[in-house]
Structure 1
């Protein structure tokens, strides 16, 4: 699909091909299409590659910016870090700790 990603600001089609897809093919008579020389083909190809590289770089910048915003807002709701030192006593929840282990003769691996 050609939906724009909120994080990158581009559609997948645009990042891969450097342009948005045409919804309706252009209706132009063949007589109006001018022949193109090799030099202009090379210049056009160079322009397409540069546009594609620019779009990818901008998408990466947008992803990095989204990551920074996400980190900022996630850290706003966190409690401050408690500094622990080696030797400090702490409470440890053993609610989900596995109590029964597989025995040697059961020929199964414990997960």
Structure 2
């Protein structure tokens, strides 16, 4: 519930609600008489913070994706380019299993 994702840098709870579940909200309001303008301003602050957290999590995910792709591409070989007319070896080992019919009367010969 409160595990921080290494790619986003946030917990799922924090992205959804805007705060960590370890923070216990006060049981009584700190300022008892807030007018509607203050309520609206506080709500807008919370929404902006949620939006900023989500945008930062998206940036962190993109950064992690680029890093993972860079690491994976270090160990890749050059891509083999085939021309029309080239002869290639085709493995048919799993052909029977992959192309079975879907009904009960199937036969894999």
- What whole-Å deviation, never above 9, does each CA across 1:22-52 have from its counterpart, x for those lacking one? 4555476x7x643111111000000000000
Measure the CA separation in 2 of the matches of 1:2 and 1:107. Answer: 47
Q: Aligned-pair RMSD on alpha carbons?
A: 2.9
The number of aligned residues is: 106
Q: What corresponds to 1:46 in structure 2? A: 44
Structure 1 residues not aligned, in runs of 5+: none
Scaled by the length of structure 2, what TM-score is found? 0.80
C-alpha distance in 2 between matches for 1:102 and 1:4: 44
- After TM superposition, list the pairs within 5 Å mapping 1:45-84 onto structure 2: 45-84=43-82
Q: Return the TM-score normalized by structure 1.
A: 0.79
Equivalent position SS for 1:6: coil
Cα shift at 1:95? 1.8
Corresponding residue number in structure 1 for 2:21: 21
Give how far 1:98 is off: 1.2
Gapped regions of structure 2 (runs ≥ 5): none
Displacement, 1:93? 1.6
**In the alignment, which of 91, 94, 97 is matched to residue 96 of structure 1?**
94
Q: Distance in 2 between matches of 1:6 and 1:43?
A: 32
